[in-house]
A and B are shown apart, each in its own frame.
Chain A
Amino acid sequence: MTSEAFSEAEADRVFHALSDSTRRDILARAIQREHSVSALARHYEISLTAVQKHVTVLERAALISKQRSGREQLVAANPDTLRRANTLLKAFEQLWIDRANRIAEILAEEGEAR
């Protein structure tokens, strides 16, 4: 049995990482096999630095991990984070975090009105 707690900030990082089409494409390639950052960069019309930034965003969200191999950084998908049920649960978690915040707003407005 696994039980993982996610902070609001962690859930935000996952959804922010998935909100960009280039990052989703990088993730798709990393799921198929490991790639060096420079090999990934050849698929896009953006600078190597920009690709490295996208990789960092995915890494912070724990969707991928980087490993050094000689002079290269190899990028691989993180199967644990990508487990489908977990991803869906996180989406629901975010939904409930947002709901709780909206409830707090309603209660605060009522408090001011009285």
Chain B
Amino acid sequence: MTVISSSTNADELTLELVAEFDAPPERVWSVWEDPRKLERWWGPPGYPATFTRHDFEVGGQSRYYMTGPEGEKHFGWWRIDALEDPRRIEFANGLAGNDGEPVPGLPPAGGVVELENRTNGGTRMLVRTEFVNVEQMERMLEMGMQEGMRMALGQIDALLGEPVAA
């Protein structure tokens, strides 16, 4: 089993996932570093990602788009905030406009990746995502979800209007 645990915190708008792989940290690192590998897993089914830029260094920027079933393109960007090869990646991930550049005034989500050796030679990967607000989550989700899921969420959203207090 790849995914060991995942948890969400609705108050802090964070998501944490722990997965284990039968490959050393150096090889797991390469699926983040190598844009040709990255685009094989970043986009959901039906929305393949294409990275047109991937400067994998501190302060480096990435530009990508995901192509939907109708051929429509959804643009996004990354900024690398910290790197510790092959242990830790901190990056910002935001939405871009049709020119491929970041949308002004729309804050990016924060991402932290941690890779640890397992005693069997494999790797434990923790990915933590932190959102700024619900609107940001909705807009990022619209960008690349499977059609059915997106429709379902749109429906729920329309039904609820505003979040129900706990």
Interface on A for B, CB 8 Å cutoff? Answer: 1-8, 11, 15, 18-19, 24, 27-28, 31, 79-80, 82-104, 106-108, 110-111
Quick check: is B82 within 8 A (CB to CB) of the other chain? Answer: no
Given contacts A6-B8, A24-B155, A98-B45, 20 further A-B contacts (CB under 8 A): A1-B12, A2-B166, A4-B7, A18-B149, A18-B155, A19-B149, A82-B160, A84-B160, A88-B153, A89-B10, A89-B15, A90-B8, A92-B15, A93-B15, A93-B17, A96-B15, A100-B3, A100-B19, A101-B3, A111-B22
Query: How distant is A85 from chain B, measured CB to nearest CB, in Å?
Result: 5
Number of A-B pairs whose CB atoms are under 8 Å? 146
Q: Measured between C-beta atoms, what is the minimum distance from A9 to chain B in Å?
A: 11
**With A5-B5, A15-B152, A106-B40 in contact, do A80 and B166 touch (Cβ < 8 Å)?**
yes
Overall SS of chain A's interface: helix
Interface residue SS majority, chain B: mixed
Flag whether B95 is at the interface (Cβ < 8 A): no
Binds A, one of B55-63, B73-81, B134-142: B134-142
